[in-house]
Chains A and B, each alone.
Chain A
């Protein structure tokens, strides 16, 4: 009786179309996230030998000094990375969106590139620049007799992570800033606010959804990232501990999966807290920021400072890419500020290979990003615009995917889909579409957060107005909501696309043939030998240029669409 009643209230809470939408998203997430992951991590809840249910492994987790230390280290590093990343991203985003800033588009594109750091080779390039015997430290030591430990210990992780992931904040914050109407700032200025006060009291609060979306992503991503700590040889953090456990041979140990569960719990908790922080506040404005009027002029003194800050930040965050570029032309680069000589031979070596990699990367990353935005828009709409019971679970479920270690997802996919055969007899798991799904599922949160913040900034009164004029929900969505969200949607697309293009951990498990391999795999294959270092770097440069171009084109599209909207209004 009660079940029937609750079913009825559930039905009453939404239209049938919304219920179907929610259920199909749920089915998708179950099939490609929950079930595959569950086939792997259920071990966390089993007793040794007998396989019966137990929580003793979680007791062991908290009894271990190493794991508890790792947990705190991870939390601390993630928080500090958000702080440092904000320091980098705030000026770049604010200056390039709210002021007449020449080259804003270029800055936006370049500021986005750090997200595209090819695996392995990126780390080598950073070591060669910032490492203990990298360019900077060798020069410092020679001229001043001291070294700066850029890349040592937890601060090293924070430094590298902040340089790597600040674009999450930059991209989401920029979109939010663009959406603020000039009239808000003008009113504030008329009332006497200016400079930093204007920024602190008016602009930043209005852009809060974008900032929170970006910093949540940074927090969760850093919390769950294992590559950077491992490459800096920091092992007492949670994600590396999980990875080291899960991927060792022959150890039937539940702890790796216990840590994975902890990672998922912490990530979901972080997202929950971030939604709490925005609750009960209204960020929506009915006015939408158009292009033409929106930007203020910088005074000449201000301009010098502003350009100085932007150029300094760009030099800093793009240093790894300069390193990569030099490495790709280097003959031998060992214990010296610059390589011994330069050559083109690495590019000729990868030239023949790279086309198939680029083609595959383009297909995989754009399909994956496409899936992500569709899911992102749908989930954001259901959570923010419907009263569907349990809608937040979709958000949390999708977000949990960020915390699933790639190798766990890879093994899960093999377990779930390898026994499903295609009509031609080959296993489903060896079909390349599986790589696309694995890439997509781990990036849903990127698109989701971007769409979420975009939708939060749109006033519901616009939709109500459309509906009052007789538009159906679908039509309102298509003609009003989606166009207004476009900036956020594209930000989500570009972020998903770029990170998918260089993802390795799940790919490495799922690639079944060189013909199906993406760029990251190609780089990995080269980077396993001394002679392949330059070639790997060359392929890395190809990846960065390729993703950079794609990002630039998307920014161009955003800019155009904003401008056209500005003219229309």
Chain B
């Protein structure tokens, strides 16, 4: 019904405007997106109102399928725009020459958000909203399990959070990948991985979809989730008893839109890009179901009280410099390390972590230097990494993941080595912690 009205008014409007302005873009603009209906519907309605000669056809796919789809159909492309969060998905498309260059005309868009450039430096994709990463928790769950309010990543490594934390795998979610990368860049390779693994010892699970985490926190199946901010804000808007905090080591990055190469309706695609970067489009971001941070700094004047402003609020000014090139150079190794050391070894890792927590509690009651030394050893065993920062970004390891022509290790060989490395050390760590507990008792 609603659709027919739109199509009807579009046809009516077309009759007039095609005579008046021959240049105006018209027809169907096809966008493939990972955003939910809550995000796309308000944008579609506002866009079609502002451009009556255009209709927006939204195809929902998760980011991975969207990228694969555009890649597989390049010979006969029917898609005008790609619209999603993760900048790395756009990097993949750009690398395969699947995006079209464009310079948006919209005014008032910030150059940088936090320390991350809003637009692609080569002009292939454009940030339209910012998002920061942080910690979300369910208040009812926290009350029932007597959990304190977390503030920093390290808080999640505390014994009280054991088995209460959830995250999505960085190999599956571009947003988590950036969170892990932000920790690694903020704290350094070794210290960063130590923090990540100490948190991971408390993980309830590692999900394969980014939305799986907020879903579990919303329904109270898991207490605490590591998520992108708008998941928490939109859950709050929907009435769920959840809270959110930005830790001091994190980063804000833009969610993006890009025009697909050989877009069937390039003029229409440009019109949509201009629209979401215009003040009217940026204002849509403030809607309760969307709740993302506009990149036009003037829009914040219209935001409700308490709305985070990454361009003003002091917490965002502390956020670390995020080196995009460094992140890109080691994306696959970092994701695979996470999967092999954490995701697929979660049981041994949790076992060792629990043993350490118990021993530490015993030592706290009855100090014992020898037991404390054993615990330090156990913690070092867990933190140990099979590869150094330089190795991770080396040509050989990267070659294994990109299927390059040179001879060298295969991806699955590396994976098996890394997994064995971790499993062995987690077992040793558990033995040491058990021993420490015996001594300290």
Given A334-B240, A530-B218, check contact A48 B2 (CB 8 Å).
no
**Measured between alpha carbons, how far is A430 from B412 in the docked complex, in Å?**
35
Is there an interface contact between A134 and B221, defined as CB atoms closer than 8 Å? yes
Asked if B68 is at the interface of the complex by the 8 Å CB criterion, the answer is: yes
Is there an interface contact between A529 and B234, defined as CB atoms closer than 8 Å? yes
Is there an interface contact between B289 and A529, defined as CB atoms closer than 8 Å? yes
**Measured between alpha carbons, how far is A236 from B218 in the docked complex, in Å?**
26
B contact residues around A533 at 8 Å (CB) = 215, 218, 238
Is there an interface contact between B240 and A249, defined as CB atoms closer than 8 Å? no
Asked if B36 is at the interface of the complex by the 8 Å CB criterion, the answer is: yes
**Measured between alpha carbons, how far is A394 from B211 in the docked complex, in Å?**
41
Asked if B243 is at the interface of the complex by the 8 Å CB criterion, the answer is: no
Is there an interface contact between A525 and B37, defined as CB atoms closer than 8 Å? yes
Minimum CB–CB distance for B75 against chain A, Å = 6
Is there an interface contact between A414 and B73, defined as CB atoms closer than 8 Å? yes
Is there an interface contact between A530 and B235, defined as CB atoms closer than 8 Å? yes
**In this complex, what residue of B is CB-closest to A534?**
B238
Asked if A396 is at the interface of the complex by the 8 Å CB criterion, the answer is: no
Asked if A244 is at the interface of the complex by the 8 Å CB criterion, the answer is: yes
Given A249-B67, A525-B36, A530-B214, check contact A57 B412 (CB 8 Å).
yes
Minimum CB–CB distance for B235 against chain A, Å = 4
Asked if B401 is at the interface of the complex by the 8 Å CB criterion, the answer is: yes
Minimum CB–CB distance for A244 against chain B, Å = 6
Minimum CB–CB distance for B46 against chain A, Å = 18
Tier of interface size on chain A: 35 or more
Residue total for B at the interface (Cβ-Cβ under 8 A): 80
Is there an interface contact between B65 and A525, defined as CB atoms closer than 8 Å? no
Partner-binding segment picked from A176-184, A369-377, A509-517: A509-517
A contact residues around B138 at 8 Å (CB) = 334-335
**In this complex, what residue of A is CB-closest to B166?**
A233
Q: For residues 283 through 338 of chain A, which have their beta carbon under 8 Å from a beta carbon of chain B?
A: 331-336
Q: For residues 201 through 232 of chain B, which have their beta carbon under 8 Å from a beta carbon of chain A?
A: 205-208, 211-212, 214-216, 218-221, 231
Given A60-B413, A65-B419, check contact A334 B205 (CB 8 Å).
no
**Measured between alpha carbons, how far is A11 from B73 in the docked complex, in Å?**
43
Write out, one digit per residue, whether chain A residues 244-256 have a CB within 8 A of any chain B CB (1) or not (0): 1001111111010
Is there an interface contact between B172 and A334, defined as CB atoms closer than 8 Å? no
Is there an interface contact between B403 and A49, defined as CB atoms closer than 8 Å? yes
Write out, one digit per residue, whether chain A residues 215-246 have a CB within 8 A of any chain B CB (1) or not (0): 00000000000000011010110001000100
Is there an interface contact between A427 and B37, defined as CB atoms closer than 8 Å? no
Given A418-B72, A529-B37, check contact A124 B58 (CB 8 Å).
no
Asked if B309 is at the interface of the complex by the 8 Å CB criterion, the answer is: no
Asked if B119 is at the interface of the complex by the 8 Å CB criterion, the answer is: no
**Measured between alpha carbons, how far is A66 from B402 in the docked complex, in Å?**
22
Is there an interface contact between B60 and A525, defined as CB atoms closer than 8 Å? yes
Is there an interface contact between B60 and A521, defined as CB atoms closer than 8 Å? yes
Write out, one digit per residue, whether chain A residues 39-60 have a CB within 8 A of any chain B CB (1) or not (0): 0000000001110000011001
Is there an interface contact between B37 and A526, defined as CB atoms closer than 8 Å? yes
Is there an interface contact between A253 and B401, defined as CB atoms closer than 8 Å? yes
Interface centre among A134, A407, A529 (most CB of B within 10 A): A529
B contact residues around A509 at 8 Å (CB) = 61, 65, 68-69
Asked if B155 is at the interface of the complex by the 8 Å CB criterion, the answer is: no
Write out, one digit per residue, whether chain B residues 226-257 have a CB within 8 A of any chain A CB (1) or not (0): 00000100110111110000000000000000
Q: For residues 538 through 566 of chain A, which have their beta carbon under 8 Å from a beta carbon of chain B?
A: none
Asked if A24 is at the interface of the complex by the 8 Å CB criterion, the answer is: no
**Measured between alpha carbons, how far is A166 from B69 in the docked complex, in Å?**
35
**Measured between alpha carbons, how far is A270 from B216 in the docked complex, in Å?**
36
Asked if A91 is at the interface of the complex by the 8 Å CB criterion, the answer is: no
Q: For residues 48 through 89 of chain A, which have their beta carbon under 8 Å from a beta carbon of chain B?
A: 48-50, 56-57, 60-61, 63-66
A contact residues around B68 at 8 Å (CB) = 247, 249, 411, 509
27 residue pairs of the A-B complex, CB under 8 angstroms, read: A64-B416, A65-B416, A65-B420, A134-B221, A233-B207, A240-B208, A244-B208, A249-B64, A249-B89, A250-B331, A255-B412, A334-B240, A335-B140, A335-B141, A407-B65, A509-B61, A512-B59, A514-B59, A527-B211, A528-B60, A528-B211, A529-B37, A529-B39, A530-B235, A530-B237, A530-B238, A533-B218
Known: A249-B89, A252-B403, A335-B138; 11 extra A-B contacts, CB below 8 A, are A65-B423, A247-B65, A252-B401, A334-B140, A334-B218, A335-B144, A414-B72, A427-B73, A513-B57, A529-B211, A532-B36
Closest 4 CB pairs of A and B: A335-B220, A252-B403, A528-B36, A529-B36
Residues of B at the A interface (CB closer than 8 Å) are: 1-2, 30, 34-39, 57-65, 67-69, 72-73, 75-76, 78, 88-89, 92, 138, 140-141, 144, 169, 171-172, 205-208, 211-212, 214-216, 218-221, 231, 234-235, 237-241, 289, 331-332, 335, 343-344, 400-407, 410-413, 415-416, 419-420, 423
